[in-house]
Amino acid sequence: MSSSVIDFIATEARFGARNYEPIGVVLSRGEGVWVWDTEGNRYLDCLSAYSAVSQGHCHPKILAAMVEQAHRLTLTSRAFHNDQLALFYEEIAALTGSHKVLPMNSGAEAVESAIKSVRKWGYEVKGVPDGQAEIIVCANNFHGRTLGVVGFSTDPETRGHFGPFAPGFKVIPFGDAPALAGAITPNTVAFLVEPIQGEAGVVIPPAGYFTEVRELCTANNVMLVLDEIQTGLGRTGKLLAEQHEGIEADVTLLGKALSGGFYPVSAVLSNNDVLGTLRPGQHGSTFGGNPLACAVARAAMRVLVEEGMIENAARQGARFLEGLKDIRANTIREVRGRGLMLAVELHPEAGRARRYCEALQAKGILAKDTHEHTIRIAPPLVITSDQVDWALERFAAILTQDFS
């Protein structure tokens, strides 16, 4: 390591709150699936900023839209109209088949906004007595880091010493439709769930789960809120992960890849009157729906479709999954994934996943461990067959070693 690399890392550690434990690489440039560190070493990015850079690093068309818009107008606040918001609404509604859109910035803000909206819908439309609204969530969920959201996390690390928390949430197991049926009461306004639990280690529910969930929600007048912040926009090989089961959520949350990694842009989408309950002054955000965000998101959505990235995610995801399954290694407990949202779960005796990620780094691959024993793999959706094969060779070389 050169002294400059040590300086960046040491200076971060000295001044920064230590709420992250990054792999020891300092990145300074990115293009497509590749990133380069300050010493000029090249890596295949198999994290894509937790799926925010699905369109590939520094996509030229998103970059051009951002620069062009930054020259014209960046922020007006919602006190005035701007000439990008309507176009963003029109295009995201056309893409996703939604009727109403609420633009926000971070993913957690979209989740918070959805919680506020479904509660309001519960009181004003469903007729739940004031203050009694219940929202059902799943064990091992990840919906962000704000106080409201960590309050219904089941991870002690995520919640610990951050309370007291807001009431009104009920936790059930993920992938268990009878548990949902048992948890619904007349005061239940929504079921908030990830189509695939990403942070929990790419946990895919049993086939038919969401069909049952959809039926239960409809039968009980409960809003199905799908957090597609990570699974959405092509990551799983379909535009939205809900399409794998042919269902439609009442409320869909998007973020991350909505800006292709250029800028925080999130959105709450609804195909009913949930967002319709919000009146002027009841919710907002200084930066939400700003012209720069809208121009960037419009370009990010456009290239996703125009350049066939969703179909590519399905194709390359299948290739990657097959290749991982073909690796014969005692270290591997399970390989799973859908589209380009993949994970290798190691046997506990094989040692910590972080050691494998560090070994992958030395071979030119950046991947991230999650929950001690799982390596998560989520490259940009522009990855080619040759690049998948290149990655697989390296995964095979590392996974057949023992780092216990």
Ligand X SMILES: *Cc1c(COP(=O)(O)O)cnc(C)c1O
Q: How far is the CB of 194 from ligand X (least distance, A)?
A: 5
Identify the sign of the CA torsion 11, 14, 18, 22. Answer: positive
- Helix, strand, or coil (residue 32): strand
Q: Residue 60 is encoded by which pair of tokens?
A: 């030229």
Q: How far is the CB of 227 from ligand X (least distance, A)?
A: 5
Q: Which of 88, 142, 152, 210 is catalytic?
A: 142
Nearer to ligand X, 341 or 399 (CB): 341
| Contact between 107 and ligand X per CB under 6 A | yes
Binding residue count for ligand X, defined by CB under 6 A:
15
Nearer to ligand X, 111 or 375 (CB): 111
Stretch that binds ligand X, among 67-75, 105-113, 128-136, 385-393 (CB under 6 A): 105-113
Q: What residues contact residue 96 under an 8 Å CB cut-off, 6+ apart?
A: 239, 240, 252, 254, 269
Nearer to ligand X, 108 or 301 (CB): 108
| Contact between 144 and ligand X per CB under 6 A | yes
Q: How far is the CB of 145 from ligand X (least distance, A)?
A: 6
CB atoms within 10 A of CB 247: 19
Q: How far is the CB of 109 from ligand X (least distance, A)?
A: 7
- Select from 104, 229, 346, 365 the one that contacts ligand X (CB under 6 A): 229
Q: How far is the CB of 106 from ligand X (least distance, A)?
A: 4
Distance of CA 108 to the CA centre of its chain: 10
Side chain identity at residue 375, one-letter code: I
Q: In which residue are the tokens 């290239």 written?
A: 303
Q: Give phi and psi for 13, each to the nearest 5.
A: -65, -35
Q: How far is the CB of 211 from ligand X (least distance, A)?
A: 21
Distance of CA 247 to the CA centre of its chain: 19
Please provide the DSSP assignment of 105-119 as one string: SSHHHHHHHHHHHHH
| Contact between 106 and ligand X per CB under 6 A | yes
Whether the Cβ atoms of residue 112 and residue 148 lie closer than 8 Å to each other: yes
Nearer to ligand X, 134 or 227 (CB): 227
Whether the Cβ atoms of residue 175 and residue 194 lie closer than 8 Å to each other: no
| Contact between 198 and ligand X per CB under 6 A | yes
| Contact between 234 and ligand X per CB under 6 A | no
Question: 375: closest CA among 233, 389, 390, 391?
Answer: 391
| Contact between 380 and ligand X per CB under 6 A | no
| Contact between 340 and ligand X per CB under 6 A | no
Nearer to ligand X, 50 or 403 (CB): 50
Task: Report the residue number whose CB is nearest to ligand X.
Answer: 107
| Contact between 230 and ligand X per CB under 6 A | yes
- Select from 8, 34, 36, 50 the one that contacts ligand X (CB under 6 A): 50
- DSSP-derived letter for residue 239 is S
Q: Residue 281: exposed, middle, or buried by beta-carbon count in 10 A (0-12, 13-18, 19+)?
A: exposed
Whether the Cβ atoms of residue 65 and residue 74 lie closer than 8 Å to each other: no
Catalytic: 256? yes
Q: Which of 45, 176, 227, 369 is catalytic?
A: 227
The binding site for ligand X (CB under 6 A) comprises: 50, 106-108, 111, 142-144, 194, 198, 227, 229-230, 255-256
Catalytic residue numbers, as ranges:
142, 227, 256
